[in-house]
Amino acid sequence: MSAGDLLQRLWAPHRMAYVTGEDPSSPEQDDSCPFCRIPDGNDADSLVLTRGELAYAVLNLHPYNPGHLMVLPFRHVAAYEDLTAAEAADVALLTQQALRTVRAVSAPHGFNVGLNLGGVAGGSVADHLHQHVVPRWSGDANFITVVGETKLLPQLLADTRNLLTESWER
């Protein structure tokens, strides 16, 4: 460890298939892509909140905060500019619905909404476009996050999903 590098590291080589997206089968659906597989599963088990015509909303498996979700097209596409107009509209509509729903259910003080386009931008699944919707509260990053490098989440994902799906506008 160098003097300037104080980070602890947790090695998880089994996650490389997830990160690199090995074995792409086609540009339309990639069997190795977790976001292509999610719509084929049971919505409750896969944490899907709602489905549009061309996109869906799903809870993030590794949330920053309760209610952290993603909106993404069904089609396997990496670049925002490669979305069809209809896909872009469906992603936008579901994002608006997500903001309204999370606001109604948990009254966050604000939101982070955004895309990480490409691996260097922070996208761990860079080949399948997805937009994050992260509710934020004053003080949501406390000492345990900063000092202990641990995120405390007060709600189970299944409970969050139930609250959001019950309130989602149809």
CATH number at residue 133: 3.30.428.10
130 in catalytic set: yes
2 domain-assigned: no
91 domain-assigned: yes
7 domain-assigned: no
Count Cβ atoms within 10 A of the Cβ of residue 167 and give its class: 0-12 exposed, 13-18 middle, 19 or more buried: middle
Share of the chain above pLDDT 70, in %: 77
Domain count, the chain: 1
pLDDT tens digits, one per residue of 3-19: 556 666 656 665 665 55
61 domain-assigned: yes
Q: Which of 68, 76, 128, 130 is catalytic?
A: 130
User: Domain range for residue 156?
Assistant: 13-164
8 domain-assigned: no
Name the pTM for this structure.
0.77
Distance, C-alpha 51 to centroid of its chain: 15
pLDDT tens digits, one per residue of 123-146: 778 899 999 999 999 988 766 666
5 domain-assigned: no
